[in-house]
Amino acid sequence: MLAILPHFEIKLGDFRGSIVNSNLQFPNRVTNKINIAIDGYSSCGKSTLAKAIAKNLNYIYIDSGAMYRAVTYYALEHGYIQNKGEIDENMLVESLHLILIQFKYNSDSQEIETFLNGTCIDKEIRSMQVSAHVSAISAIKEVREKLVRIQQRMAENGGVVMDGRDIGTVVLPNAELKVFMTADVEVRAQRRFLQLKNNAVDISIDDVRDNIAQRDLLDTTRAADPLRRASDAVILDNSNLTEEEQFSFLMVQAKKAIDMKTLV
């Protein structure tokens, strides 16, 4: 069973980045409950693997990328991102207090859906338009500071699987298991292309490849918390691995980390 967030609200206006409402009671610290941080490049399958691991361990899954995508979507909808990609950072930062992000569990699809100010935007935040700008939005210091504080609070009691770009290096530097996922650019482009085509998005493989390359560049070179592998992270190159093989590999690592924590 996946210990998901059935109804979880995040108000960015709180300077401390606090959780304003939740009907989920986080588990008390249990000896062998660990935190698992999964970082890596875009379109590596981080979320798919993180969900599977969380479900197997009955842990809470937190999609940090959905938070940044929600802020990006808000910026697009309010005209803070111009046609040439220029961002009005001042206006966005001043508007952060108006942003309410919610994670709600859909019992029919058995998936977590992302809501922005009361509206489900789960499909919209996966669009190419959002993907084209999310790395730039994520690089804004004030946005990162607020979201990082919230993410840290969400994981403070352990039993969390969180994926993103800076989870093992910034958000959860003390996570008992850190994983860095990577894959060949062409493999990632093909995966993302098929995903978009299955969602009836009309786009070329060249555009997908270019988007991934651009995101890689922005994610690894931004001044605020760039994407990099934590020194103690396990590397998982899944270029030639099936989802089942990735899951089996990571479950072995997770069980080792849980056993180590139990012994401490």
Q: Which helix (H) or strand (E) holds 106?
A: strand 100-106
Indicate whether 185 pLDDT > 60: yes
Q: Is residue 36 part of a domain?
A: yes
Domain count, the chain: 1
Q: Is residue 140 part of a domain?
A: yes
Give the domain range for residue 184.
Answer: 7-23+32-254
pLDDT value at residue 245: 97
Where residue 167 sits, what CATH number does that domain have?
A: 3.40.50.300
Q: Is residue 259 part of a domain?
A: no
Q: Is residue 260 part of a domain?
A: no
Residue 103 exposed, middle or buried by CB count within 10 Å (0-12, 13-18, 19+): buried
Q: What's the pLDDT band for 103 if we cut at 50, 70, 90?
A: confident
Q: Is residue 262 part of a domain?
A: no
Q: Is residue 116 part of a domain?
A: yes
d(CA 17, CA 24): 18
Name the average pLDDT for the chain: 87
d(CA 95, CA 92): 5
Q: What's the pLDDT band for 176 if we cut at 50, 70, 90?
A: very high
**What number is the average pLDDT over the span 196-211?**
90
Question: With contact defined as beta carbons under 8 Å apart, do 99 and 153 qualify?
Answer: no
Q: Is residue 2 part of a domain?
A: no
Q: Between 163 and 29, name the one with better pLDDT.
A: 163
Q: Is residue 263 part of a domain?
A: no
Indicate whether 264 pLDDT > 80: no
